[in-house]
Amino acid sequence: MSDKSTTKAMFASLCANSEGSKKVREAKALMLVHQYELFRMKDDESIEEMYSRFQTLVSGLKILKKSYVASDHVSNILRSLPARWRPKVTAIEEAKDLNTLSVEDLVNEGEKNHKKGGLNCVFGNFFFYVLDNYPQVRSLK
């Protein structure tokens, strides 16, 4: 910084160091896009923890001017859920319009079912639930 002769040069140097050059920002954006596309909920993670990690990732993408629409977020979260959530994911995909479903509604639904101690839901004539971490389906007929 001592070799900078003008205030403008010092300011430009500070901006470049704090925000990074264009190439650095592009590299960060590519890394975050990659993380977004490969996002998965961890097996030992709660819905709240997963959503917090997801929001941090989305915020980073917004800062770097890489944003997605809400339906992309909903689809990504549904894809990220572990196998034990498959029955609930299938029921949500069939019962809800994923293009209008908000991320908050999706997460609230997941938290509600998770706090009940299960992932139980009824869809059509079928009852979906998880027993010992294995998805189960029973006919209501």
List, for residues 11-23, the tens digit of each pLDDT value.
777 766 655 677 8
**Which class for 20: exposed (0-12), middle (13-18), buried (19 or more C-beta within 10 A)?**
middle
The sign of the torsion formed by the CA atoms of 18, 22, 27, 32 equals: positive
- Predicted local confidence at residue 35, as pLDDT: 95
The answer to the question of residue 2 being in a domain is no
- Predicted local confidence at residue 73, as pLDDT: 94
Q: Give the number of domains in the chain.
A: 1
List, for residues 45-60, the tens digit of each pLDDT value.
888 899 999 999 999 9
The answer to the question of residue 107 being in a domain is yes
The answer to the question of residue 54 being in a domain is yes
The answer to the question of residue 1 being in a domain is no
Tokens of residue 4, six digits:
């900078």
- Predicted local confidence at residue 131, as pLDDT: 57
List, for residues 31-41, the tens digit of each pLDDT value.
999 999 999 99
Torsion from C-alpha of 135, 86, 38, 67, nearest 10 degrees? -150
pTM for the model stands at: 0.65
List, for residues 79-134, the tens digit of each pLDDT value.
999 988 888 888 888 888 889 988 888 888 776 655 544 555 555 555 555 555 55
The answer to the question of residue 79 being in a domain is yes
The answer to the question of residue 101 being in a domain is yes
For residue 120, give its domain range. 7-139
CA 41 to chain centre: 8
The sign of the torsion formed by the CA atoms of 58, 62, 65, 70 equals: positive
